[in-house]
Amino acid sequence: MAWLVGVDVGGTFTDFFAYDDATHSVRLYKRPSTPGNPAAAIAEGLGEMRRAFGIAPAAVARVCHGTTVATNALIQRRGGKVAVITTKGFRDLLEIGRQTRPHMYSLQIDHPEALVPRQRRFEVEERITAGPSVLIPLDPDSVARAVEAVRASGAEACAVCLLFSFLDGRHERGVGEALARANGGLYVSLSSEVQPEFREYERFSTAVLNAYLQPVVARYVAFLEKELARDVPSAKIGIYQSSGGLMSPATARSFPIRTALSGPAAGAVGAIATARKAKRPNIITLDMGGTSADIALIRNYEADVRFDRDVAGFPIRLPMVDIHTIGAGGGSIAWFDRDGLLKVGPLSAGAEPGPACYGRGGTEGTVTDANLVLGRLSERGLIGGRMRLDRAAAAAALAPLAERLSYPIERVARGIIEIVVANMVRAIRTVSVERGHDPRAYCLLPFGGAGPLHASAVARSLGIREFVVPLAPGLLCAQGLIASDLKEDFVRSLRIPAADPHLSEIRAHVAELARDAQRWFTHERTAAGARTLHLSLDMRYVGQNFELRVPIGRGAGGKPPAVPSVNGLRRQFFLVHDRHYGFHSETDPVEIINIRLTASAAVSRLRDVKGPTRRRRAAPAEHRLVWFAGARPVRTPVYERAALAAGQLLVGPAIIEQLDSTTVLHPGDRLRVDSLLNLCVEVGP
Amino acid sequence: MSRIANTARSLDPIRLEIIRNGLRSIADETFVALMKSAYSTNIKERRDHSTAICDARGRLVVQADASLPVHLASMTGLMRCLLAKHGGAIQPGDVFVANDPHDAGGTHLPDINMAVPVFSGRRLLGFMCNIAHHADVGGSAPGSMAGGMSEIYQEGLRLPVIRLFRRGVLQQDLLDLILLNVRVPEERRGDYYAQIAACRLGERRLAEMTARHGAAMLIAAFDEIIARTARRMRAAVAALPDGAYVCEDVMDDDGLGTVDIPIKLRIEIAGERVRFDFTGTAKQVSGNINVTFNATQASVCYALKALLDPEVPNNQGVLDLPEIVVEKGSLLDAAFPAPVAARANTCQRIIDVIIGALAPAVPQHAVAAANGANTTAVFSGLDPRRGRHYVYLETLGGGFGGRAERDGKDGVQVHITNTSNLPVEAIESEYPLLVESYSLVEDSGGPGRCRGGMGLRRVIRPVGHDCLFNGAGERFAHRPWGIFGGGPGAPGRFLHVTREGRSVPLATKPAGIIVREGEKIVVESPGAGGYGAAAERSPAALALDRESGKFSEAYLARHYGTAKVDRAAE
């Protein structure tokens, strides 16, 4: 027996998804989080789960963990004290950024202050130019002065940020070595190692954020390793990264910034695993929780990756699953704006005090309160009845809104749902229509506690014909963690014309990256058959300021992917250019800016969990009155998810309840339970 | 069990919010579509474009979120001229195009304005509109933005409101005529098609919304959206103390010999009405810093929105609020044939003046004068490595004014513009230039309780060749002032540094400066004014000014007093 355990730490609950890859059985466990020290809930929860399900310590082979420690440290500004060493003449560059302001019309809102104040930014005499060639050699005296200044500043970490280091990292390494010699305990981040890419501000900013997180994440990982070593000594630890794969604790300590957006990425990977099993290659995921909704577009079982994101107001440049987040969740608060229009969110009641119906002191009407008032949620409440919901409190919270509009409570409740649905529809249009994809060709995959509640209405608004609710919609992130591969990205940032004389140069770079990848495969001791390499190039027309990521090919078994002819490369670029910009030119010169090789190694393959097939009609657990579009409530059957067997058919209206979520079928929706117990719903007219 | 009244077809605040959400979606979707399919770098990379929906009376209903403030009123300028000229004869399939500031409601020639009527049956619902800044519209210099010209004819091809399509049929003769008059016509054809495609996309989306909600409901929603915003803005004005507020400032020069050009403003607030009277402002000038009425209106509305309610939606309700009095033939309502390409510098100054005037009425929201410019540096020459001509153009941010609760932001784009810089690594990869430093300008933020923001400095030299430098600056002579006792920020300047290391100051709008190999150009944008008396600056803030090295000991001693600075240092 070898258990793989995925642990997803949320603001309120820590979820465990355990899978035995010998017997293919699954165990689910949920316990309250410990926000002060998230690792405590992991260590304790793992022990609790083992005891509850009789899993021996030695049987746990791997613990896959998505951490929000880095994200929270950024949001709450609780990182380490950082110094910066940079090229002479460019001390202010990190503060100037892109010289823009974040809000077009606000005179008061600024980008956040630089994480490293000017007095801890030091310059060294050196200069590399675009050649690359060394215009000014690294001056040892200025390095010695800067190293001493860093020491005197009391910094715990130092980011080294030199111009053109993505082409030639020797000067940065020289400074890094001098820092290490002078102070072995100092954390050092070199911009040429964190993400060796073109454009200094984004590269520097990424390196600074990495340095800022190093002390915090190193402490956290050390604690986690120690605790887990005690409880499950043979378990390997995988830390989840924003690109949608796992990395070793050692890598996480060196590059903590890679975990900063990993939370939503795990959900997308879990959704892809579900989509694969349900044989729906093109899906739009809708992960709606308490405060926000995360949306991703999956094409042919692959999520798009993007490289430029902001975290807590700072740009980072790293591969990240392309996820769009909006402030629409169960806790989103309904309010009137200064135009007198009803709005929902982005302000949320969160988990504390939570929606009014939680009875924990919340007084403002939320999306969850509206669902309760309409009968779509049960008063028996969430988490299998462990948390009752108070309908009277929900109605009382909506009453002031109803009075202002002179409407019945239920009509206001329906309005709140319609508006939050419209907000999500707008966000889905952003990731689909605005990027050249027609949502009607996609299947919606709702998850999170509140996704399946709103899926039918969202799908109908977008003209999407089908949605699929996975078996455990509230635990999909934890599930995604163990469906993930070990992953590492290798990049060469350069500038080569996509023209025949340069093909051998391009191939040489790819071969070199492949050698780096092989070393990594060996170091991580991955099985030879489980290794895959993906090659993509960032390309653009000469003169364009932004490049497009062009997938070129993949190599199985760890073999480097073949690099096609220059014409082949150009054709691939034209396809991507067409999709993004609607046109391409056959004749204009094209250049390559980055060569990217992604190495991944499968850790486990979740097998299908097949449910028993029954043709018998499921009996509803109860009936209750639920408001849909009509003027009167409808007597609606309520089913327990566990009672729905494979092959069963239902026609809406119906409500399906389970431990971690509630699914709403509107009148006319037609549901079929597939052999994997997914709810496949054809949206009614 | 209550019964939901079956009035779902009526326009309640819930349905209105959902319709407005749908309209915003359309504006945003067409904004992205235009950006993606256009050819001009200005549109693709700097997003110098905007999209909007107007109603059948030409009123602005919704504008895409990412639209630039300077485009706020351009759309209605086009609509006014379009309806006046073609009002009774608008047909499905027509595509209207215009750019002329004097004849067609534009603000400068590179902004091509477009509108497509949208019908429901035979009923005109409204217009899908967009504006895009083309990389070239002809005229005597590439890019159609150069200074030194005294008539609009020299700035490019002038288009009155014309139909590029009639009832769905392309007027090929017109397009041929237009393209013959612009540089790189194949690319400009692409820009026109991108604008047309964006309008048509919006037209389809509006048709889908009409099918869902009905034409009558949509038209009612247009009215209601504007009316609610108008009420919201009027309420914000009514909350201000009644009275007259005045301010004036002086522009440095027009680049053609006119110097010290005054902008005068008197604002009168009475109840929920507000009147902007620019009487007394300079006559229009020979150089290209003139502004046509729509750009003045956009500047006024930007300032009102920023001071009173930054979150208010952009629609006619905002545009209709201020009554604007400005003399025809003056700097701010320039008459034919005034050149207007560099209007942005003047728009920045109008905003400083408005905020300066209203500061006593809204002390918590007002800011001191910002860098007040659209500081532009252009390097051009023959790239010795590639044997090709190059032109590198950049606009620099500068200081932002001190605020009631916080210092002005250092080195940032202000007010009417928000375009980003070009990375040093991009400049040096693209052009035969070396950036020696990129920094904040020491001592450039005006003193005050909350000090002004600092200007930016870029030092650039040509590599392996001699190059040409052109620049456009403002606030090189008339410094950005402080408010409520705050002091002025530093002026900007251009310096030409010789091989011997001698710095030669250049004019505010220098043209044709030859920079030899081994020489360099220093570009310094202005800082900004401070807010509140210097004596009130906190010791902690002063300590930081000193510790960060942003201000010299001498400067701090001069403006804050030696004793105070010493105390702060302890």
Q: Where are the domains of chain B?
A: 13-231, 367-537
- A618 φ, ψ (degrees, to nearest 5): -75, 145
Looking at residue B450, its amino acid is: C
| List of long-range contacts for A192-197, beta carbons under 8 Å, 24+ apart | A192/A162, A192/A165, A192/A166, A193/A169, A194/A255, A194/A257, A195/A317, A195/A318, A195/A491, A196/A165, A196/A166, A196/A169, A196/A491, A196/A492, A196/A493, A197/A166, A197/A307, A197/A317, A197/A491, A197/A493, A197/A594
Can you give the pLDDT at residue A663? 96
Tokens of B131: 């504006």
Count of CB atoms situated within 10 Å of the CB of A642 = 11
Helix (H, G, I), strand (E, B) or coil at A161: strand
pLDDT at B2 > cutoff 60:
no
pLDDT at A298 > cutoff 80:
yes
Q: What is the mean pLDDT of residues A294-301?
A: 92
Distance CA B101, CA B266 (A): 25
Q: At what angle do helices B293-308 and B215-238 cross, to 10 degrees?
A: 70
Distance CA B570, CA B561 (A): 15
pLDDT at B78 > cutoff 50:
yes
Distance CA A305, CA A307 (A): 7
When pLDDT is cut at 50, 70 and 90, the band that residue B5 belongs to is very low
CA closest to B453 among chain A residues: A96
Residues in A touching B235 (Cβ below 8 Å): 338
Of A110, A164, A338, the CB nearest to B309: A338
Could you tell me if B340 and B108 are in contact, meaning their C-beta atoms sit under 8 angstroms apart?
yes
Matching residue, tokens 């800082």:
B527
Distance CA A659, CA B490 (A): 65
When pLDDT is cut at 50, 70 and 90, the band that residue A611 belongs to is low
CA-only gyration radius of chain A, Å: 26
Distance CA B84, CA B250 (A): 36
Q: What is the mean pLDDT of residues A123-144?
A: 96
- B364 φ, ψ (degrees, to nearest 5): -75, -25
Tokens of A419: 């508006």
Give per-residue pLDDT as tens, B530-544: 999 999 999 999 999
pLDDT at A612 > cutoff 60:
no
What are the C-alpha distances in Å from B466 to residues B177, B384, B433, B518?
A: 38, 10, 10, 9
- A551 φ, ψ (degrees, to nearest 5): -70, 135
Q: What is the mean pLDDT of residues A484-509?
A: 90
Distance CA A292, CA A132 (A): 45
Could you tell me if B238 and B214 are in contact, meaning their C-beta atoms sit under 8 angstroms apart?
no
B423–A201: do the CB atoms touch at under 8 Å? yes
A49 Cα to chain B: minimum distance (Å): 45
Can you give the pLDDT at residue B39? 75
Percentage of chain A exceeding pLDDT 90: 60
Tokens of A587: 């004749």
- B66 φ, ψ (degrees, to nearest 5): -85, 5
Can you give the pLDDT at residue B127? 97
Can you give the pLDDT at residue A382? 60
Distance CA B7, CA A505 (A): 70
Strands A590-601 and A486-497: antiparallel
Q: What is the mean pLDDT of residues A168-191?
A: 96
B306–A631: do the CB atoms touch at under 8 Å? no
Q: At what angle do helices A200-231 and A38-53 cross, to 10 degrees?
A: 40
Could you tell me if A61 and A4 are in contact, meaning their C-beta atoms sit under 8 angstroms apart?
yes
pLDDT at B400 > cutoff 80:
yes
B334 Cα to chain A: minimum distance (Å): 26
Q: Report which of A506, A517, A515 is spatially closest to residue A563, judged by C-alpha positions.
A: A506
Give per-residue pLDDT as tens, B351-392: 999 999 999 999 999 999 999 889 999 899 999 988 888 888
Contacts of A441 (CB under 8 A, 6+ apart): A282
Q: Tell me the torsion sign for CA atoms A314, A102, B422, B370.
A: negative
Instruction: Report the range of poorest mean pLDDT among A148-152, A445-449, B126-130.
Output: A445-449
Distance CA A287, CA A282 (A): 16
In a mutagenesis test of the A interface, which of B31, B36, B46, B299 is the best target, namely the one with the most A β-carbons within 10 Å? B36
Residues of chain A with CATH 3.30.1490: 486-601
pLDDT at A536 > cutoff 80:
yes
Can you give the pLDDT at residue B345? 94
- Residue A641: HSE in the Cβ half-sphere, 13 Å Cα cutoff: 23
What are the C-alpha distances in Å from A441 to residues A283, A426, A444?
A: 9, 17, 10
Predicted TM-score (pTM) of the model is 0.90
Distance CA B525, CA B417 (A): 15
Looking at residue B186, its amino acid is: E
Give per-residue pLDDT as tens, A59-94: 999 999 888 888 888 888 889 999 999 999 999 999
How many residues appear in chain B? Answer: 570
pLDDT at B90 > cutoff 90:
yes
- pLDDT, chain A, mean: 90
Q: At what angle do helices A451-462 and A409-431 cross, to 10 degrees?
A: 70
Q: Tell me the torsion sign for CA atoms A619, A620, A622, A627.
A: negative
pLDDT at B11 > cutoff 70:
yes
When pLDDT is cut at 50, 70 and 90, the band that residue A608 belongs to is low
Give per-residue pLDDT as tens, B13-22: 888 988 998 9
Could you tell me if A398 and A365 are in contact, meaning their C-beta atoms sit under 8 angstroms apart?
yes
pLDDT at B45 > cutoff 80:
no
A110–B426: do the CB atoms touch at under 8 Å? no
Matching residue, tokens 């090295």:
B549
A114 Cα to chain B: minimum distance (Å): 12
Helix (H, G, I), strand (E, B) or coil at B86: helix
Can you give the pLDDT at residue A610? 57
Q: What is the mean pLDDT of residues A110-116?
A: 92
Distance CA A491, CA A513 (A): 7
When pLDDT is cut at 50, 70 and 90, the band that residue A613 belongs to is low
Residues in B touching A166 (Cβ below 8 Å): 425
Can you give the pLDDT at residue A388? 86
Distance CA B397, CA B420 (A): 9
Q: What angle do CA A413, A417, A423 make, to 5 degrees?
A: 145
Tokens of B192: 């026109």
Of B14, B309, B437, the CB nearest to A418: B14
Residues in A touching B428 (Cβ below 8 Å): 129-130, 164
Helix (H, G, I), strand (E, B) or coil at A359: coil
Tokens of B304: 């009102």
Give per-residue pLDDT as tens, B431-488: 999 999 999 999 999 999 999 999 999 999 999 999 999 999 999 999 999 999 999 9
Of B307, B397, B550, the CB nearest to A99: B397
As assigned by CATH, the class of the A486-601 domain is alpha beta
Residues in A touching B5 (Cβ below 8 Å): 407-408, 411, 631
Of A200, A410, A412, the CB nearest to B423: A200
pLDDT at B3 > cutoff 50:
no
Give per-residue pLDDT as tens, B177-221: 999 999 878 888 889 999 998 999 999 999 989 998 999 999 999
B201 Cα to chain A: minimum distance (Å): 11
How many residues appear in chain A? Answer: 685
Can you give the pLDDT at residue B4? 44
CA-only gyration radius of chain B, Å: 25
Domain A78-212 belongs in CATH node 3.90.660 = no
Whether the predicted interface score ipTM is above 0.90: yes
Count of CB atoms situated within 10 Å of the CB of A300 = 7
Cite the DSSP H helix spans in B95-184: 172-180
CA A264 and chain centroid, separation: 3
Can you give the pLDDT at residue A30? 81
- Residue A102: HSE in the Cβ half-sphere, 13 Å Cα cutoff: 12
Residues in A touching B2 (Cβ below 8 Å): 408-410
- Residue B33: HSE in the Cβ half-sphere, 13 Å Cα cutoff: 26
Can you give the pLDDT at residue B317? 95
Q: What is the mean pLDDT of residues A273-280?
A: 90
Instruction: Report the range of poorest mean pLDDT among A57-61, A243-247, B281-285.
Output: A243-247
Contacts of A222 (CB under 8 A, 6+ apart): none
Give a three-class secondary structure readout of A567-612. HHHHHHHHHHHHHHHCCCCCCCCEEEEEEEEEEEECCCCCCCCCCC
Q: A3-74+218-262 maps to which CATH number?
A: 3.30.420.40
Count of CB atoms situated within 10 Å of the CB of B190 = 18
A452 Cα to chain B: minimum distance (Å): 21
Distance CA A124, CA B413 (A): 29
Count of CB atoms situated within 10 Å of the CB of A494 = 17
pLDDT at B97 > cutoff 70:
yes
B28–A339: do the CB atoms touch at under 8 Å? no
Distance CA A242, CA B82 (A): 51
Element containing residue B496 per DSSP (H, E): strand B493-497
CA closest to B364 among chain A residues: A108
